[in-house]
Amino acid sequence: MALGDYWKQLSWFYYQYLLVTALYMLEPWERTVFNSLLISVAGMAVYTGYVFMPQHIMAILHYFEVVQ
């Protein structure tokens, strides 16, 4: 079943993420703290990009005189 395969692959990636960042050694609540910090920082970055990217792109195009 394709969904089961995807789930296996995803959990393998999560396992690699735990090993590389050494979260594998930490207790569950510490993992929760770290993951929420990471997701909130990443979420803030994505939101900022979403809000400000059109303005930045317009400024770049204006600089290169592609658009007035």
Partner 1 sequence: MARTAANGSLKTHLNQNGLKLEDVNKTHKREKNGPGTGVASRQYKQESFEQAPMYVAVMTYLGYGIVTLFGYLRDFLRAVELERCHVAQEKEEQKDFVPLYQDFENFYTRNLYMRVRDNWNRPICSLPGPVFDLMERVSDDYNWTFRLTGRTIHNVINTGSYNYLGFAENSADFLKTVADVTCQYGVGVCSTRQEIGNLGIHEELDKLVANFLGVESSMTFGMGFATNSMNIPALVGKGCLILSDELNHTSLILGARLSGATIRVFKHNNMLSLEKMLREAVCSGQPRTHRPWRKILIMVEGIYSMEGSVVRLSEIIALKKKYKAYLYLDEAHSIGAVGPSGRGVTELFDVDPADVDVMMGTFTKSFGAAGGYIAGKKELVDYLRSHSHSAAYGTAMSPPVTQQIIRAMKCIMGNDGTTEGIRRVRQLAENIRYFRARLKEMGYIIYGSDDSPVVPVLLYMPGKVAAFAREMLERKVGVVVVGFPATPIAEARARFCLSASHTREMLNQVLHHLNEVGDNLCLKISQQKYSSQPDLYNEANFEPDS
Q: In the 8-state DSSP scheme, what is residue 54?
A: H
Nearest to 66 by CA among 58, 3, 5: 58
Of 1-9, 10-18, 42-50, 52-60, the window that binds partner 1 (rule: CB under 8 A) is 10-18
25, 41, 45, 58: which one binds partner 1 (CB under 8 A): 25
Q: 10 Å Cβ neighbour count for 23?
A: 17
Residue 14 makes contact with partner 1 by CB under 8 A = no
Minimum CB–partner distance for residue 42 and partner 1 (Å): 16
Q: Tell me the chain's radius of gyration from C-alpha atoms.
A: 19
Residue (19 or 60) nearer to partner 1, CB:
19
